[in-house]
Amino acid sequence: MSAFDGITSPAIAVQFLKSGTWTSVTTTDVIQIDIRRGRTRQSERDQAGISVVVFNNTSGYYDPDNTSVSNPWVVSGTNILRDGLQMRIVATIGGTPYNLYYGFLEETRVNQGEAPSSTMTFVDGIAYIADAQAPALATSSFAETAATRVGRMLTYAGWPSGGSRSLTGTVGMLATTQNRSCMALIYQAVDAIAGRFYISRNGVATLVPLADKFSRPTQLLFTDNQASNTVGYMQLLTNPGTYYVVNQAIVNRGEAKQYTSQYNPSVSAYGIAKTVFDAPVATDSNAQNLALYESRKLATPDTYVERIDFNALAVGTYGLLYPDFLSTELADQVSVVRTTYDGRTIQWNLVVEGMAHNITQNNWMVSYTTSAINPYSITI
């Protein structure tokens, strides 16, 4: 990847965990890297992050059936390029490394034709956790906070403890008999705190509550005027927001306990647009406040930027912005200033809902999916 020198633009490395040590793939063997993390809009769940990496396989090293002693991915006679292999993608600028992605090998497809290649698909911890089931309990147990419940589900799934978890959520939840997937119970906790659950770019299982949105950093300013310390964009897609209006929220809080909130001015303007949450919070007041919040936050549509496309190799053109770009995480904030052709100046303050990277030997395109920073909040 000659365009990535680590000085004027980040050096990119694909690394596999080999015998407990992160080991870089030969850079010239990497044909293309695609990464997708997060979600397309704030009303969705965060999806399992996926990375697809295509390798030049003329050496035969990226064929999982190759067990020759000369293959660097063979350890004690076993090829390590098998399901579950841990992988990360690292971008280094000025000697400082930043993880772009952390995941596990799910599938390998080998092209044995005239231009041999190997395509590996990796998934992050959400896919790993989704396979786990929370066992049925004889009686309802574990009245606990949302963060504690998510922590128990991660333990059932075999997710590491300590620094591999960052869980915040103090809302109390009703006792449960479980008997469903760990992700289903995690999503209940997410809904209980009006928050998000995702796997960070460093591989940390992360639960954040509603209040988190008021403390996240603004990482980048996108403009079309080439101003100092800004990033130019290639495409800016806006959305009037009317399609995603929500003005009625129903919170299911256990058996025969349902709380509804409706924002009538929005209903009069747009008709009823309903959302339903399965959030077994511990108190009636929490359920009522949760329903109130969910019926208000998207009740009045505002035009927002739905997607920002830009060239990552140009991030450093107007300022030393690579550390900010490479540090950007899901739920961080960015701003966009647009001067329209008719002379108007518009500014949008946005939350990063998802991100996608397409990296080749000489190019790096990025898309952020974003939503408006909604100032509406409530104590849950």
pLDDT range class, residue 10, cuts 50, 70, 90: very high
- Give the global pTM: 0.95
pLDDT at 5 over 90: no
Instruction: Supply the CATH number for residue 266's domain.
Output: 3.30.1920
Percentage above 90 pLDDT, the chain = 89
Tell me what pLDDT residue 377 has.
74
Task: Tell whether 350 and 226 lie within a shared domain.
Answer: yes
Instruction: Please give the torsion angle defined by the CA atoms of residues 96, 328, 153 and 134, in that order, rounded to the nearest 10 degrees.
Output: -120
Tell me what pLDDT residue 287 has.
95
Return the closest-CA partner of residue 84 out of 150, 47, 131.
131
Determine, yes or no, domain membership for 6.
Answer: no
Determine, yes or no, domain membership for 158.
Answer: yes
Task: Tell whether 151 and 61 lie within a shared domain.
Answer: no
Spell out the SS3 assignment of 75-126: ECCEECCCCCCEEEEEEEECCEEEEEEEEEEEEEEEECCCCCEEEEEEECHH
Task: Tell whether 222 and 350 lie within a shared domain.
Answer: yes
Choosing from 125, 158, 181, the residue where a domain stops is 125
In the block, residue with structure tokens 């066992």: 135
Strands 274-278 and 248-252, bridge-based pairing:
parallel
Determine, yes or no, domain membership for 108.
Answer: yes
Determine, yes or no, domain membership for 117.
Answer: yes
Domain range for 229 is: 213-240+302-354+366-372
pLDDT at 379 over 80: no
Span 213-239, pLDDT tens digits = 888 999 999 999 989 999 999 999 999
- In this structure, how many other beta carbons lie within 10 angstroms of the beta carbon of residue 255? 8
Q: What is the mean pLDDT of the chain?
A: 95
Span 63-84, pLDDT tens digits = 999 999 999 999 999 999 999 9
Report the alpha-carbon distance of residue 79 to residue 1 in Å, rounded.
Answer: 26
Task: Tell whether 286 and 328 lie within a shared domain.
Answer: no
pLDDT range class, residue 207, cuts 50, 70, 90: very high
Task: Tell whether 143 and 184 lie within a shared domain.
Answer: yes
Task: Tell whether 338 and 221 lie within a shared domain.
Answer: yes
Mean pLDDT of 129-138: 96
Span 348-359, pLDDT tens digits = 999 999 999 999
Task: Tell whether 165 and 115 lie within a shared domain.
Answer: no
With contact defined as beta carbons under 8 Å apart, do 35 and 101 qualify?
A: yes
With contact defined as beta carbons under 8 Å apart, do 80 and 73 qualify?
A: yes
Q: What φ, ψ does residue 204 adopt, rounded to 5°?
A: -100, 125
Tokens of 91: 């971008």
Task: Tell whether 117 and 27 lie within a shared domain.
Answer: yes
Q: pLDDT higher for 48 or 3? A: 48
Report the alpha-carbon distance of residue 202 to residue 24 in Å, rounded.
Answer: 17
Determine, yes or no, domain membership for 276.
Answer: yes
Tell me what pLDDT residue 319 has.
87
Tell me what pLDDT residue 1 has.
60
Report the alpha-carbon distance of residue 297 to residue 70 in Å, rounded.
Answer: 59
Task: Tell whether 59 and 136 lie within a shared domain.
Answer: no
> If residue 160 lies in a helix (H) or strand (E), which one and from where to where?
none
For residue 256, the 8-state DSSP code is T
Total domains in the chain come to 4
Q: pLDDT higher for 341 or 150? A: 150
- Residues 6 or more apart whose Cβ sits within 8 Å of residue 4: 10, 11, 12, 364
Span 178-204, pLDDT tens digits = 999 999 999 999 999 999 999 999 999
Report the alpha-carbon distance of residue 86 to residue 239 in Å, rounded.
Answer: 38
Determine, yes or no, domain membership for 378.
Answer: no
As a residue count, the chain comes to 380
Mean pLDDT of 116-140: 96
Tell me what pLDDT residue 226 has.
87
Report the alpha-carbon distance of residue 332 to residue 334 in Å, rounded.
Answer: 7
Mean pLDDT of 124-130: 94
pLDDT at 2 over 70: no
Task: Tell whether 41 and 106 lie within a shared domain.
Answer: yes
Mean pLDDT of 264-287: 95
Q: pLDDT higher for 268 or 211? A: 268
